[in-house]
Every structure is written in structure tokens, then in C-alpha cells.
């Protein structure tokens, strides 16, 4: 039988990454319907539960930033294996905290396991996102859109699977079942991923043989002083944060319309579903239109602002106050994310290349900024959303943040002079410079 071509092998490798991302993303939200309920039954306050859950983002940010500068010195496949093992350990550990009788021990154990969970997912995701510029340098946006579709599906499935397993198997067994699923899938896909990673290393060897000049990592200070980098991060963070500011008081908001707990889950899941569905549209057309990424960022920001205004809604919108309107707002908010999430890393890569085209580690740095940004957005968004809801009420708080978001879009529109076209991205092909670090044969 004829062996598959190298292009087909790369596509299969990419699809395995996407499938593993989908499964891992269920872990990101899997414990959301389980852990808070368990901790409440143990007498732990809501404020403390929020702090416990936030440790996930803290370790995620720290791990991502470390990887951004140092991932080029490690074997990527080893980082994936290490991250998946930590993910399984954290799930198994969470499954057994219900056997602790001491409230203090439960709190400390949960915090440590959340730290481990955040670090493990960052280890895996940072590598996954950094592989794409190596595999498909000519189709970055399309590839990232497909990966984000899998992310959205995983986020939508997580609470559903968790609720089902929790109801029929109980607390401990539900976590152990999910851990077993991760373990089985690891054994199924990792042998091929190791083989494909070796092929990428061989390509890096060929590239190294042709390259004579010394290539160094990009200077972090030079990167942070760049106006375009800061503007791109700013508009990405505050647009995406709109999906997080609603979370602290969203459940109570739905209950005010006489919605049930199931209704809360369904409407919130609607955002993830529309995110994934929009991804299919973006994936097929993002390389066919002739728009600067700048205008896609702006369009996505405007959509998120509209979504926040409708979710309230404020009286001046003259919209009826019912669950249908809230659902429409949530759907728009979910759609908005696909107009800036898949293009963030390609945009950062282009800017980094402009800053220092010979630097290695650009794709790792861009991926790390993305993963760290997601963690920071979730952490800051929840705090900001809780503050706005406490001080102004949910309706007015979301309106205030929508207007704040409009101001951010205005600053970005006026100061960002992007000329990059989606059809002009990364068409040189080949293995990127940072992949040459695999030659150093360093170990974890």
C-alpha cells in the first residue's frame, strides 16, 4: 500500500491536534456545573469558590508566559505528553477531594489541583497553537478557525457531559471516567504524533543545513514597546472579555426572567454553539475576502458590543425584556469572537516578523500571548463583571462595558494602520526558524 504524502501526513497530524483540543476543552468547563455545587454543600462561601476557581487562570498565565520565551528549547511532543499527564492527574485528584472531611484540606487541595489544571492545559494548548504556522504557513487564519471550531464544540459539550455523568455516576466516578477517556485517547494518538514530530525535526535539520547565520529569540522589551503589538493585544483582550463580564451575574439575570438552572446552561451554551457555527463560515471565506485584519477586529468588537446591549437589555434599546431577546444577544456575542480569535496569532506573527524577521520563537511567543491572554481575560473579566453588576446592576453594568468596548474600538481604529491582507499571509512555506531549536536535543 502506498504511504500517504507528506501533505496528507501533516493534515492528519493537524486533525489529531484539533480532536485532542476538543477533548481537552471539555476539561476547561467540565467541572463548572460540578465543583461549585460540591463546594457549596461543604459549607464554602461563593466568594471563596470564585477565588478557588480563579487559580486556574493564574497558573495558566504564568505557564504560558514562561513557554513563550522558553518553548523553543524543549521538545514539543514531550511538552504535550507532560501536559496531558498533568491533566489526568488533576482530574483524578479532583475526583477524590470528596473523601476529605476537613474544610481547610478541601480548599487547599482544590486550589493546588486548579493550579495544576491551568498549567497542564497551557502546556498542551501553547504547543498546539505553535504547530500551525509550521504545518500550514499559507493558511493560518483558516487553520486557526478550524481549531477554534473544535474549541467551541468542546466548551459546549463539557457542561452537558458533566451534568449527565454527575447525575448518573456521582462526583468521584464522573471525574475518573473523564480521566480514563483522556488516557485512552492519549495512547491512541500519541504514537502517530511522535512519528509526525520526528518528520518536522528532519525538515528542521534540512533547514539548518542551509542556514549559516545565527538566529536569536526576539527581544521581549522591543516587542512590548511596539505600538501595533500593544494595540492588537488591547483590542483582542477587551473584545473577548465581553464574554466573561456577563458570567458572575448571568445566572441570576436569567432567573429574574423565571428561567431555570437548565435554561441558564442552554443559553450560555448557545454562545459556544454560535461561536463554533460561525467558525465554519469564517474558515471557508476568511482567505477569499480582501479585508485587512484590522476591519475584522473592528467588526467583531462591534458585534460583541451589540450582544452586550441586547443581553441586558437597557430601557433605551426599546427591546422587550424576555429570554428570547437574551438568547439572541448571547448568540451575537458568541458569533463576535470568531472575527478576532482566529486572526490574533497570524496578526501577531506578522508584527513580530516586522520587528525582527530573523528572530526564532515567533510562533511560540504569539501562541503564548494568546493562551496567556485567554487566562487573563477570564480572570479580569469575572472580577470586572462582578464589580459592575454589584455597583450598577446587570443591565446597566453590561451597557457600561459595551460603551467602554466602543471606546477601545475607537482607539484601535484611529491608531492601528494595518495594511496586512488575509490573502497575503505567510506564503513562503517551509519550516519556521524556531523549529531549528529541536536540533539542540534539549530535554524537559
**What pLDDT digit, counting tens, does each position of 286-318 carry?**
656 666 788 889 999 999 999 988 887 776 767
All structural domains of the chain: 11-208 (1.20.1250.20), 217-419 (1.20.1250.20)
Give pTM, 2 decimals. 0.74
Mean pLDDT for all residues in the chain: 77
d(CA 209, CA 204): 9
pLDDT number for residue 287: 59
- Ramachandran angles phi, psi of 360, nearest 5°: -105, 150
d(CA 337, CA 12): 27
Q: What angle do CA 169, 47, 377 make, to 5 degrees?
A: 90
**What pLDDT digit, counting tens, does each position of 74-120 carry?**
778 888 888 888 888 988 888 888 888 888 898 899 889 888 888 88
**What pLDDT digit, counting tens, does each position of 391-428 carry?**
888 888 888 999 999 999 999 999 887 544 444 444 44
d(CA 40, CA 48): 10
361 backbone φψ class: left, alpha, beta (φ>0; ψ -120 to 50): left
pLDDT, greater one: 271 or 338: 338
Closest CA to 402 of 318, 301, 305: 305
Q: Which DSSP string corresponds to 63-114?
A: HHHHHHHHGGGS-HHHHHHHHHHHHHHHHHHHHTGGG---HHHHHHHHHHHH
Those residues whose C-beta lies under 8 Å from the C-beta of residue 219, and which sit 6 or more positions away, are 356, 359
Count of C-beta atoms within a 10 Å radius of residue 246: 28
Q: pLDDT at residue 142 above 70?
A: yes
213 backbone φψ class: left, alpha, beta (φ>0; ψ -120 to 50): beta
**What pLDDT digit, counting tens, does each position of 365-377 carry?**
788 788 877 777 8
Within 136-226, residue ranges assigned H as helices are 140-169, 171-210, 220-224
Query: Running DSSP on this structure, what letter comes out for residue 4?
Result: P
Amino acid at each position: 500500500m502506498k504511504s500517504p504524502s507528506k501533505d496528507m501526513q501533516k493534515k492528519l497530524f493537524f486533525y489529531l491536534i484539533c480532536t485532542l483540543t476538543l477533548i481537552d476543552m471539555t476539561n476547561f468547563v467540565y467541572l463548572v456545573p460540578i465543583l461549585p455545587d460540591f463546594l457549596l454543600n461543604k459549607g464554602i462561601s461563593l466568594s471563596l469558590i470564585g477565588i478557588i476557581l480563579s487559580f486556574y487562570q493564574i497558573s495558566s498565565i504564568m505557564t504560558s508566559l514562561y513557554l513563550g520565551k522558553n518553548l523553543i528549547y524543549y521538545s514539543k511532543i514531550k511538552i504535550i505528553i507532560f501536559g496531558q499527564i498533568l491533566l489526568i492527574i488533576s482530574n483524578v485528584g479532583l475526583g477524590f477531594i470528596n473523601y476529605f472531611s476537613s474544610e481547610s484540606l478541601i480548599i487547599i487541595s482544590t486550589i493546588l489541583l486548579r493550579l495544576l489544571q491551568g498549567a497542564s492545559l497551557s502546556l498542551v494548548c501553547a504547543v498546539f497553537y505553535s504547530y500551525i504556522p509550521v504545518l500550514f504557513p499559507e493558511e493560518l487564519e483558516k487553520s486557526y478557525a478550524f481549531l477554534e471550531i473544535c474549541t467551541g464544540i468542546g466548551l459546549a459539550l463539557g457542561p452537558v457531559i458533566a451534568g449527565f455523568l454527575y447525575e448518573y455516576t456521582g462526583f468521584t466516578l464522573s471525574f475518573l471516567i473523564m480521566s480514563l477517556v483522556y488516557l485512552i485517547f492519549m495512547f491512541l494518538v500519541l504514537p502517530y504524533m511522535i512519528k509526525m514530530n520526528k518528520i518536522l525535526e528532519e525538515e528542521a535539520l534540512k533547514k539548518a543545513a542551509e542556514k549559516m547565520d545565527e538566529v536569536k529569540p526576539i527581544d521581549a522589551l522591543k516587542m512590548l514597546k511596539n505600538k501595533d503589538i500593544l494595540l492588537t493585544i488591547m483590542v483582542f483582550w477587551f473584545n473577548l472579555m465581553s464574554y466573561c463580564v456577563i458570567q458572575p451575574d448571568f445566572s441570576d439575570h436569567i432567573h429574574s426572567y423565571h428561567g431555570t438552572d437548565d435554561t441558564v446552561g442552554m443559553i450560555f451554551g448557545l454562545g459556544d454553539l454560535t461561536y463554533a457555527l460561525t467558525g465554519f463560515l469564517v474558515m471557508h471565506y476568511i482567505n477569499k475576502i480582501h479585508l485587512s485584519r484590522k476591519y475584522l477586529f473592528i467588526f467583531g468588537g462591534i458585534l460583541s458590543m451589540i450582544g452586550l446591549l441586547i443581553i441586558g437589555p437597557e430601557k433605551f434599546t426599546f427591546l422587550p425584556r424576555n429570554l428570547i431577546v437574551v438568547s439572541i444577544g448571547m448568540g451575537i456575542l458568541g458569533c463576535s469572537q470568531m472575527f478576532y480569535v482566529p486572526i490574533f496569532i497570524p496578526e501577531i506573527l506578522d508584527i513580530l516578523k516586522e520587528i525582527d524577521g530573523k528572530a526564532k520563537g515567533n510562533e511560540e511567543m504569539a501562541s503564548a500571548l494568546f493562551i496567556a491572554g485567554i487566562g487573563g481575560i477570564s480572570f479580569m473579566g469575572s472580577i470586572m463583571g462582578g464589580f459592575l453588576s454589584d455597583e450598577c446592576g446587570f443591565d446597566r453594568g453590561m451597557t457600561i462595558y459595551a460603551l467602554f468596548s466602543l471606546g477601545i474600538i475607537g482607539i484601535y481604529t484611529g491608531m492601528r494602520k494595518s495594511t496586512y491582507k488575509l490573502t497575503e499571509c505567510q506564503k513562503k512555506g517551509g519550516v519556521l526558524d524556531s523549529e531549528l531549536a529541536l536540533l539542540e536535543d534539549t530535554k524537559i
